[in-house]
Amino acid sequence: MELKLFNTMGRQLSTFNPIHEGKVGMYACGPTVYNFAHIGNLRTYVFEDIFRKTLEYCGYSVRHVMNVTDVGHLTGDTDEGEDKIVKSSREMGKTVWEVAEFYTKAFFRDFGLLRCAMPSVVCKATDHIPEMIDLIRRIEAKGFTYSAGGNLYFDISRFPDYGKLALLDQQDLRAGARVEVDQGKRNPFDFALWFTKSKFEHQAMLWDSPWGRGYPGWHIECSAMSMKYLGEHFDVHCGGIDHVPVHHTNEIAQSESATGHTWVNYWLHGEFLLMGRDKMAKSAGNFLTLSSLVEKGYHPLDFRYFCLGAHYRTQLMFTFEGLDAARTSRLGLMERIVQLRAEAPQGPVQAAGKALEYLRDFETHAADDLNMPRCLADMWTLLRDAEVPSGMKLSVVLRMDRIFDLGLDSAKEESLTLDDESKALLEERRQARRAGNYKRADEIRAALKARGIEIQDSPQGQKVRFAAGQRGEKTVTSEDDRC
């Protein structure tokens, strides 16, 4: 399988060749832990997980490093505003450390619910201040910095390649086209490597440094930690597309000015999830969290399936109709797996003939810059092909699921059904009906309907049906709902 990836650096599709045979070093920018991740953020992590699992499918051993930003990320990415975590700590009445711990846990809970594989290394910014200071010293020793107003800045005029990732216009850069917010900067595109307390009086996290007691700029952590865990030249750096013009541009400037050579070979960026016309953003207030979807009765993997339905480099519009369609398809898929198991009690059978052709198509599409919509289509075409024996279908689909990772190998009847809260409501309704309390039973029916779940009473018990948007409906009967 020859893997082709779209490299943001140079804007072209190119064949992936790792630095060390059989091994891939991959760095992904992690969360800033001042609030819950929204599903737009989570789309990026799902894309990175699909990428990692595609690399593993191709036989690479992947060292995946992710940072957790718990200091230094200001409300604006370009050094304006105040530290996001300090702001949350004031609003929540908790210490910055408590805020960071709380939201780090919340993030990895969502991460796990989406079946994203834990990175090989998760590194916190506040645990790597000495590494950041060392790197800043190297940048300083090479003459790329200046200090002003108590802060140490990176001087972009000393780094001729500045902006090559984002294709920033050199003339704009020289003219300093961005709005000036920091009087100390010589050029608005210059950025802070180290802030001293002169910037904010109420900064709670402070460290001693050669430039005074203070804290690091946001970008330096990714340069310092990626080099620590992956070396000074590694294969892939991923993140959301919004990181291209500032964060990743500045990471490259820092890293390559310190080492004097190329830092990263491939840059992959995931596109936005849109809410209406706008990108989902906490600052715009138009965001949804994974738990808010779960509260509405969706399974976290409905969202994963929803993400698979669009290529990672296309913008994806979030709608509940779209999520309903993803849920219907996912439940239908799980149902098919259970059926295939019943039809092929001997289990998966080695694929041959047509089944193998479907698998090859799938691999071609996965290797074509992770074309998951085509891969899903390949899987459904296989499932609909009456000529392929069930055992072979099962083996091919489970193999495909090494990349999709929808948990198909553990598909059971129960998992086709409901979240715990809906299950509890269903059980309460069963008992209410048994006790002749039809008023309560009707109330619960209405409550479940509001969650997109319809109930039909049948001689076998309560039948549950998911309202499923425009693409039809799926009927599921759970084992434990018989009267």
When the beta carbons of 29 and 62 are compared against Zn ion, the nearer one is 29
Gyration radius (Cα) of the chain, Å: 25
- Max Cα separation, the chain? 82
Residue entry with tokens 């399988």: 1
Nearer to Zn ion, 162 or 358 (CB): 162
Please state the closest distance from residue 251 (CB atom) to Zn ion, in A: 6
Q: Quick one: 242 or 369, whose CB is closer to Zn ion?
A: 242
Minimum gap (Å) between residue 381 Cβ and Zn ion: 39
CB of 50 to Zn ion, least distance (A): 20
Q: How far is the CB of 26 from Zn ion (least distance, A)?
A: 13
Cα–Cα distance list, 381 to 385, 386, 389, 401 (Å): 6, 10, 14, 15
Q: How far is the CB of 34 from Zn ion (least distance, A)?
A: 15
Binding positions for Zn ion, rule: CB under 5 A: 29, 222
Going by DSSP bridges, is the β-strand pair 273-275/145-148 parallel, antiparallel, or unpaired?
unpaired
Nearest of 235, 269, 292, 328 to residue 43 by alpha carbon? 269
Could you tell me the smallest distance in angstroms from the CB atom of residue 88 to Zn ion?
A: 19
**Phi and psi at residue 189, in whole multiples of 5°?**
-80, -10
**Residues 67, 71, 72, 75, CA torsion sign:** positive
User: Helices in 58-211 by DSSP H: which ranges?
Assistant: 84-92, 96-113, 129-141, 170-175
Q: Where are the alpha helices (DSSP H) in 231-296?
A: 249-259, 290-295
User: Smallest distance from the beta carbon of 165 to Zn ion, in angstroms?
Assistant: 13
Nearer CB in complex with Zn ion: 29/411: 29
Tell me whether residue 248 or residue 430 sits nearer to Zn ion (CB atom): 248
Extended beta strands in 386-473, E state: 453-458, 461-466
| Pairing between β-strand 234-240 and β-strand 23-28 as defined by DSSP bridges | parallel
Query: Is the CB of 220 or the CB of 418 nearer to Zn ion?
Result: 220
Nearer to Zn ion, 44 or 151 (CB): 44
Q: Where are the alpha helices (DSSP H) in 296-319?
A: 300-308
